[in-house]
Amino acid sequence: MLWLIALPLGLVVVYLATRFSRFRQWAEPILSVAVAVGLLVAFIIWFSDRDGRKPAAPEPVQTTQPAGLTAADIAIDGLTFEQSQPGRSFRLRGTVTNKGQTLLEYFRLSVTLEDCPDDVCQTIGDDAALILARVPAGQSRPFETFLTFPNREGQSLTAPKWTADIVEVRGTNR
């Protein structure tokens, strides 16, 4: 877009230089310097841009995390499920024990609900809960959360069966 201004301006200067000799005497040195500065600026822009290449992304830095807790370091006991409102919403209570060497910050509990009348089980659904529990090493704390499962019209639970697994654990050395 800059050339739209430079082109008419250049044509006017060339016209005046050919028409008036006095204009040519002081316009030639000024135009020579302007062209030299323009070329220098263009070279600097070209050199710094280098075909529009972006700078290389920095290499990822390897961070060493302290040996954290695993699901084997956590025990959950005394799980109780109380039906809540609406129909397939349940309050889960239990106790978590930290058998590891670091402070437990949170864990994720995956729960599967099945209905097992006459020992024939039908899966109702799965839910996962993130449980924030700051439990020091070697201690236990109670926890509570809510779970929700799909509600099928006309079907009620006759023999619920619960399966709970710890799927994620986060601990810290604080």
User: Is the predicted pLDDT of residue 42 greater than 90, yes or no?
Assistant: no
Q: Which of 37-51, 98-112, 113-127 is predicted with the least confidence, judged by mean pLDDT? A: 37-51
User: Is the predicted pLDDT of residue 144 greater than 90, yes or no?
Assistant: yes
End-to-end CA distance of the chain: 60
Alpha carbon distance 124, 162 (integer Å) = 10
Alpha carbon distance 114, 51 (integer Å) = 62
Q: What is the mean pLDDT of residues 22-38?
A: 81
- Most distant CA pair in the chain, distance: 113
User: Is the predicted pLDDT of residue 51 greater than 70, yes or no?
Assistant: no
Encoded tokens for 76: 């959950």
User: Is the predicted pLDDT of residue 30 greater than 70, yes or no?
Assistant: yes
Q: What is the mean pLDDT of residues 100-120?
A: 89
Encoded tokens for 75: 């025990």
Q: What is the pLDDT of residue 94?
A: 94
User: Is the predicted pLDDT of residue 164 greater than 60, yes or no?
Assistant: yes
Q: What is the pLDDT of residue 131?
A: 92
Bridge partner list, 123: 114
Residue 141 near residue 95 (C-beta atoms within 8 A): yes
Residue 106: closest CA among 83, 126, 69, 132: 132
Q: What is the pLDDT of residue 55?
A: 64
In the chain, what are the domains? 2-49 (no CATH), 71-172 (2.60.40.10)
Q: What is the mean pLDDT of residues 82-101?
A: 86
**What are the φ/ψ torsions at residue 15 (nearest 5 degrees)?**
-60, -50
Query: Which of 51-55, 81-85, 111-115, 141-145 tops mean pLDDT?
Result: 141-145
**Residue of 66 and 76 predicted with greater confidence:** 76
User: Is the predicted pLDDT of residue 65 greater than 50, yes or no?
Assistant: no
Residue 169 near residue 98 (C-beta atoms within 8 A): no
